[in-house]
Copies of this chain bind each other. A is one copy, B any other.
Amino acid sequence: MSDITLQRRGPSAENMSQKAVNGTSHGGKVLTLDSMNQNVRQVEYAVRGPMVMRAVQIEEELKKGVKKPFTEVIKANVGDAHAMGQKPITFIRQVLALCAYPALLEDDKFPEDAKKRARHILAGCGGQSIGAYSASQGIECIRKDVASFIEKRDGGIPCNHDNIYLSTGASDAIVTMLKLLVCGEGRTRTGIMISIPQYPLYSAALTELGSVQINYYLDEDKCWSLDVGELRRSLTAAREHCKPRALCIINPGNPTGQVQSRQCIEEVIRFAKEERLLLMADEVYQDNVYADGCAFHSFKKVLFEMGPEYSSVVELVSFHSTSKCYMGECGFRGGYMEVVNVDPEVKAQLTKLVSVRLCAPVSGQALMDVVVNPPQPGEPSYATFTKERAAVLTDLAEKAKLTEDSFNNVPGFHCNPVQGAMYTFPRITIPQKAIDQAKATGQPPDQLYCMKLLETTGICLVPGSGFGQREGTFHFRMTILPPKEKLKYVLEKIKEFNAQFLQEYS
């Protein structure tokens, strides 16, 4: 993987046009692979790529009674907590049910604090219905609750609800910000710095937008930490080809699970100021921190603690979601972004842009409100909520350690601690014979590995090549979400498979 990914713009327009006029391709269809948007064609998204397609096929085959060496497909490819059996938080779902069907507000079975939240949310909705469109930026009272949450989280640093945009999951907000940033042609084309390994939403969005992806490498030997020297190297090289304008950080890391130190965040902010880069901080795993000595520090808080020299200058956009942390409510597509120091005229453009899609799903907005405004001491749901929340996070912490320990006992594996987030990204050994076979069949070697694992065990992972990795190294991403017993089974099966694989290709 090279440092700069100059997105291809597809075959020349003239060729396409000629082909389409002749109607020779694909039975004369208007829309073909050759005549479609070539940026879209180049998009790759490994988290739901060929591995998952094959996994779904295998599930169908199992249903039809096809004999396999396993009885179920285990989709450890995606951070989908509920699909892995995690139970929803009672309080969250009570509030959502009350919002959906307000007749339940008269029902004695629902606790008073849940009703209070539901009434509060409904009062912010048009016609008191979550079926009404909200303001494009999101329901005002929810944005105010988000702002209070951020202030509390960041030790009192002010947050203005005018800077909050509720979104359709964090993905939507991230793509919207990238969309605003991309312009220019050739050497002035916008470049965006992303970590390698990265979460492939970033590369996919940049490909679609025809932007330049600038890779900076995390240091696997130092627990996937971010080094400013590497940022500088990457930026300097990129300036030969494009105009770098933003730096994306995922903290805690996906797929790599590292948690950034406060000092590292300070260095990144200094770098962004010096180099005039807008910072995009993807903080959707902010509650998922497990390792001793690690703590989540928001970019916003660190920025403001560095004083006005930084806090009044550096443009920072940070993202959060209802899909991860202890909630794991992926299906509701709730999220927000906070924009700091963004030009007011650009903010107006952002508001206009999101208005074209009318609004983010209101049920996801309601869910976000519960997340930022959970039961407080003294409220009837406090004890249950706190217990359920702690149970999820404690369990995840145990599974993080279990995974690390287990993988470091697998010959040929090297696994950094899962300090945070929901994934492990171990480095694996692939023998030359397997590499040669992968090349011959036109697939990345780690995809060959993962595909064989899937066919042998039913376990679906994502090859490291889908996230990016240093040339000549191989990895996979696995979520630590399966219930403990199932996770143990998965870890054991991978160990067994790996031994077979090494033997087969030795």
Contact = CB atoms under 8 A, between A and B. Distances in A.
Contacts of A311: none
A38 interface: yes
Interface string A31-75: 111011110110101011100000010000000000000000000
A342 to B, nearest CB: 7
A362 B341 CA distance: 34
B246 A36 contact: no
Interface stretch (A167-175, A262-270, A289-297): A167-175
Interface in A129-181: 129-136, 168-169, 171-172, 175, 179-181
Given A48-B358, A246-B30, A93 B88 contact: no
Interface string A1-35: 00000000010011011001001001011111101
A356 interface: yes
Contacts of A168: 168, 333, 357, 361
Interface stretch (A97-105, A425-433, A448-456, A457-465): A97-105
Interface stretch (A78-86, A301-309, A394-402, A412-420): A78-86
B355 A127 contact: no
A341 B131 contact: no
A235 interface: no
A183 interface: yes
A496 interface: no
A14 B45 contact: no
Contact of A35 (B96, B183, B330): B183
A430 B81 CA distance: 59
A276 interface: yes
A389 B183 CA distance: 48
A446 interface: no
A126 interface: yes
Contact of A13 (B84, B188, B208, B330): B188
Given A45-B355, A133-B331, A169-B357, 15 more contacts: A13-B189, A28-B276, A30-B277, A31-B180, A31-B342, A32-B346, A33-B343, A33-B345, A35-B183, A40-B180, A43-B353, A43-B356, A45-B352, A80-B133, A82-B131
